[in-house]
Structures are given as structure tokens and as C-alpha cells.
Amino acid sequence: VDVLVNNAGILRDKSFGKMDMADFDLVVQVHLMGAAHCCKAVWPHMVAQKYGRIVMTTSSTGLYGNFGQANYGAAKLAQVGLMQTLAIEGAKHGIHANALAPTAATRMTEGLMPEEVLAALKPEAVVPAVLASEQAPSRTILCAGAGTYEAAHVTLTRGLHLGLTPDTPERLLAALSQVTDRTGETVPGSGAAQGDNEVRQALAARR
């Protein structure tokens, strides 16, 4: 097994207030757990052969949100988290993991868009963005639709050390624009980068 593309999906759209939790769980089971089970099945084979390409089908809903799709968005962003970790753990075995957020006319989108738009969103236009070749990078989130290709990034701002005092909540609120300032933001190599940044600033403040 050289390539796994996790593409199974269903929709159970409804605003969160009206959503049955059974429908929330069902969507998570198909999108997230379906991908996890498939990855688990191919993982030992890819490790043994020192090669593998795994692609998660995420969504702009998971990356940026969309009304009526809390279940779908949660499951799709969770796939990105799974991809990030599999890419880190698979690196020494030659296993690359990536994610693709496609915009395409499928059975799930029939009736949701005008015919002209559906015609432009041919599924074939998404295929070049399936990063599954030998030359594919790892830990890349591509977005694709109608022949346009973009990249999405999960970034970390430089942040601001405020320490911990009784008035830290108020000072944080007042300084939020500095904390969220994207100047100099980075794409961390792993989740440990957040803690490293926080501790580094804390120690520097003591000097």
C-alpha cells in the first residue's frame, strides 16, 4: 500500500442549536474515525516498506467555519490535527501526510449551488492538489477548486509575555491586539513550539 486518500464523507447539516447529537457523532465517526481506522490499517505496511503517502480530505468548513456545519467542521479540522501528527511520526519511515480542502461538485453539493457554479467546480480540477506522489511534501494543507490552488496554514503569533498577576485578565484584554498581531507569525514544526515560545518569553522577562 503506497497511497491512502481518506475521502469518505457525509453531511447532516443543521444549526448547532437544532442539531441532534446523534448526527454530530455520526459525522465525526465517518470523517474522523473513518480516516483514523484506515490510517491504522495501512500504517504498519508503510512503516515496513519505509514509504507511504497519506492524504486527508479536510474542508474550508473545518479551517474557517460554516453556518449549519458544526459537526462537519469539527470532524474536518480534527483530520488536520491527525495529519500533522502522522506527518511527524511518519517522517523517519518515509511516510508523508498532507491535507486537501477541495471545492467540487459532488453528490453532497448537488442542489446547493447554481448549475453554472457546479459546472466550474469539476472534481477533476481538484485532483492535481492530491499530494500523493513520490515528490509530495509533508504537512501541507492545500485548498483547490475550479482550477485555483491555495495553501492554508496553522500559525502561531509571537505573542506577548504579561506574567501572572491579579490584573492579568484585564491587561490581556487591553493588549489583545498585540497578542493577535500576525507580524512575524510562524508555522510551528510541532505542538511543542507553543510551549517553547511561552517559556522562552517568561525566562527572558526574569532577566
Per-residue pLDDT of the chain (207 residues; tens, 9 = 90+): 999 999 999 999 999 999 999 999 999 999 999 999 999 999 999 999 999 999 999 999 999 999 999 999 999 999 999 999 999 999 999 999 999 999 988 776 777 778 888 889 999 999 999 999 999 999 999 999 999 999 999 999 999 999 999 999 999 999 999 999 999 999 999 999 999 999 999 999 998
What pLDDT is recorded for position 110? 72
Using a cut of 0.75, tell me whether the model's pTM lies above it.
yes
Q: Given this model, what pLDDT does residue 171 score?
A: 98
Question: Backbone phi, then psi, for 168, in 5-degree steps?
Answer: -60, -40
Full 3-state SS string of 135-164: CCCCCCEEEEECCEEEEECCCECCCCCCCC
pLDDT (0 to 100) of residue 138: 98
pLDDT for the residue 108: 67
Among the options 51, 64, 72, 149, which is catalytic?
A: 72
Q: Which residues, in sequence order, are CB contacts of 49 under 8 Å at separation 6+?
A: none
> How many Å apart are CA 57 and CA 10, to the nearest integer?
12
Distance CA 30, CA 170 (A): 42
Separation between Cα atoms, residue 188 and residue 121, nearest integer Å: 33
Active site residue 64: no
| 76/38 Cα distance (integer angstroms) | 15
Distance CA 152, CA 171 (A): 31
